[in-house]
Amino acid sequence: MSDTIEKIKCLIIGSGPAGYTAAIYAARADMKPVMYTGMQMGGQLTTTTEVDNFPGYAEGTDGTAMMEDLKKQAERFGTEVRFGLVTKVDLSEEVGGVHKIIVDESKEIEAETVIISTGATAKYLGLESEQRLIGGGVSACATCDGFFYKGQDVVVVGAGDTAAEEATYLANICNKVTMLVRKDFMRASKAMQHRVNKTENIEVLYNTEIDEVIGDNVVEGVRAINNQTKETTDISVTGVFIAIGHKPNSDLFKGVLDMDETGYLITKGKSTKTNLPGVFAAGDIQDKEYRQAVTAAGTGCMAALDAERYLGALE
């Protein structure tokens, strides 16, 4: 452990759109925020090649470039951005209490307020070919990337409500959507199943999984395998959307902060307040409904304002 304990007003954990927006607002409020980026600086958006739906980028932008823009903006107002991983927390239950944080298992910090923006990680199948083509036709967000496949054929992998929603969303844009369902039934609600079945350009293949994503630099198709007959079929598509869920990056806060059964942090009402005073949650760590960069940024703004008001009430 370090010999000296650093004392700061506002600690931001995580560096996606929520974290950087919180930093911009906190810095402008003279809270002198310190951000620890986590191991993926910029968050999930750095795995996206093109961002076309974030306000202010008329011609679209690259995900990594956008995060760099947000970082520079946060630093312009005085945010100290540090590369590092928070490894332990001891959060106070007292109003005005000090939150103790350990970074990289060695550095000790005491923070008056903490903004958690650690996000959620999309679940993937784990295939080498899939991982290689993330950003080259493999995506985990139809709302983010569906536009680029207008008039084309795509595959959606998954059987729940999210997969059904992504398939029906893509069906309005794409020529054909093929859903690959691992079992002989869908887990989606009956209402969502009816929507899928009534959509003419959606085909559902049951007992079917991806054996390989075909393509060198971009997706050219998938090799699907029937897990009952072991028969393989090549399907020509340009996009593969994996819709098997997300895992919120909240393990650090288990048993400390209130969360739902899947690990998303629970915030109070329309605020970003957690169950502990001075601790706030923003972005995908507390949002399993929208999961968009712009909504994450909005909650980042809210968290900084909530933190500023919390400190103001202590004076």
CA–CA separation, 299 and 187 (whole Å): 30
CA–CA separation, 265 and 254 (whole Å): 9
Largest Cα–Cα distance of the chain, in whole Å? 70
Beta strands in 158-249 (DSSP E): 176-180, 202-205, 208-214, 221-226, 232-235, 239-242, 246-248
Residues 6 or more apart from 65 whose CB is under 8 A from it? none
Helices (H), 203-292: none
CA–CA separation, 220 and 42 (whole Å): 29
**Residue 150: closest CA among 179, 170, 180:** 170
Residue labelled with tokens 């298992």: 105
**Residue 110: closest CA among 240, 9, 38, 252:** 9
State the Cα angle at 188 between 183 and 190, rounded to 5°: 115
Contact assessment for residue 153 and residue 178, using Cβ atoms and an 8 Å cutoff? yes
Query: Active-site positions?
Result: 141, 144-145
